[in-house]
A and B are shown apart, each in its own frame.
Chain A
């Protein structure tokens, strides 16, 4: 029995080491004093200082955050409306729409990236900030739809009719009855979209073609010139931001399932 338990734990430990050792090493060496990636010479915030002083990095941070913000807000708006519409479809057309929405999520990013690039070239739109933003809105929308749809499914559709019955016009009923009930899904969708947008490389790379750089594409271009520990520091920050966002999303969903409303059920 003891051997079995040991093997179980050992196996888990090995997997976790494989998964997190590279990131751990990256973060540890971002605090290294020397430029070496192999030898630890002492603790220092030197690389973080340099990071803050680099104007092109500040530019990349600005691009990343503004695009993530605008794209996820736009996608939240479009995606929520789309989900409400899809939920009112009949079962068959709903299933078709759900699958159509699902394909872009599982599609290889490079295919999405290149096809968007071709689209922009076809319409002769100069690549840069705006094309990157449009691309981000596009790939964010399904994440919002799939966060909002389950909330709509949980909702008693009778509540909308009940609001109309009591004298509410449709717009008022949506605002005061439907939106509050699906709000948790909308917020989750927004956070997910923001996370996806924040750390996206592939689609940003193809749709901006170097004219505008976000953090991911900036790190890539830096790494092509030569590995610099600043990359470690920058990657460590990105990693922490994404982890925090995912943590928030997951904690929210855990809290939700714990206090599910049981309206209509008897006892």
Chain B
């Protein structure tokens, strides 16, 4: 489980002098499901295309099984891609699309038929071999694209926002199915998405990217519970990010109050950012003395919960998720437990740009 399959060593990518990837250091372990997560234009697709061989790094090295793959064309790499818009061959039927790579390897017809048949079964499209690509639904095309890539038994499967075009219900189904395939086949998946929920659901590890820089690498739990900077905190789910300062170890001051927290190792009175997840705030109408208080300014029904905005008496706007209904104008209060509070360095974002080498997974 621990062998590195891909290593990025100080990779930079520039287009016409504009840097789109900056000092990428990242390793991907065998049989891992790694997600590259970030907003559009952050460089995550470029990273994927470098692994596939469609782009070459401007500087730095990329290694597959410890050997540099610089200059090796895409058709000689043991990786396959599921493209964002599927890129199926419209002039070929489902069978011939999937068999394309196998025919190139000059396999026997009977072997090809067996392999394609197995793949169709895996993606739940048995009996669809003769269909025209244009006559398939988006979801079915998606499955053909996955089958076409997997049939070549790649060391690494690259997926570029493969579920982007599907509707919500179907997307969730496919998320589970992809995860199942990855586990049963034992193939390393590198998955690109801008959807944080998707990333949290499927991944063994997530690399959050913004502005061509890896902001944080970690397990979904680490990324969600201990975001390294305000970008990660903000991008992974909604959060309240408040400026404060660290009085001493385990004591942070923000929103006009001192709070006990679980963080230490900061300088005395160092300015910090505090992250509090909206679902960690439990508001109540029974206000006690030691509570932070405020007035509900708006309530929005979101399906699973209500999204409530509370105008704090100390001037801060709180975002709260609650299954209970509160009306605008209600006076409410809440307390914060130490494990609800997560303290981040203010300068971390900028510092990372300079240092460049973030801590790798675990």
Listed in ascending order, the chain A residues whose CB lies under 8 Å from chain B are 156, 158-159, 161-169, 172, 176-177, 180-181, 259, 261-267
How far, in Å, is A152 (CB) from chain B's closest CB? 14
Question: What does the 1/0 interface line of B80-113 toward A look like (CB < 8 Å)?
Answer: 1101111111110000000011001100000000
Smallest Cβ-Cβ distance to B86: which chain A residue? A264
Smallest Cβ-Cβ distance to A169: which chain B residue? B75
Question: What does the 1/0 interface line of B136-164 toward A look like (CB < 8 Å)?
Answer: 01110100000011001000000000000
- The answer to whether A161 touches B141, judged by C-beta atoms less than 8 angstroms apart, is no
Q: Beyond A164-B74, A165-B81, A262-B134, list 19 extra A-B contacts (CB 8 Å).
A: A158-B84, A158-B87, A159-B88, A161-B74, A162-B148, A166-B80, A166-B148, A166-B149, A167-B76, A167-B101, A167-B105, A168-B100, A169-B75, A263-B86, A263-B88, A263-B133, A264-B141, A265-B138, A266-B139
B213 proximal to A (CB < 8 A): no
Which residues from chain B contact A263 at a C-beta distance below 8 Å?
A: 86, 88, 90, 133-134, 141
Report the Cα distance A168→B172, complex, angstroms: 33
* Selected contact of A261 from candidates B104, B134, B149, CB within 8 Å: B134
- The answer to whether A165 touches B88, judged by C-beta atoms less than 8 angstroms apart, is no
Which residues from chain B contact A259 at a C-beta distance below 8 Å?
A: 134
Which residues from chain B contact A172 at a C-beta distance below 8 Å?
A: 104
Question: What does the 1/0 interface line of B159-180 toward A look like (CB < 8 Å)?
Answer: 0000001110000000000000
How far, in Å, is A103 (CB) from chain B's closest CB? 30
How far, in Å, is A165 (CB) from chain B's closest CB? 5
* Selected contact of B85 from candidates A167, A181, A264, CB within 8 Å: A264
Report the Cα distance A209→B81, complex, angstroms: 59
* Selected contact of A168 from candidates B75, B91, B134, CB within 8 Å: B75
How far, in Å, is B251 (CB) from chain A's closest CB? 53
How far, in Å, is B288 (CB) from chain A's closest CB? 52
Which residues from chain A contact B73 at a C-beta distance below 8 Å?
A: 164
Which residues from chain A contact B276 at a C-beta distance below 8 Å?
A: none
Which residues from chain B contact A265 at a C-beta distance below 8 Å?
A: 138
B52 proximal to A (CB < 8 A): yes
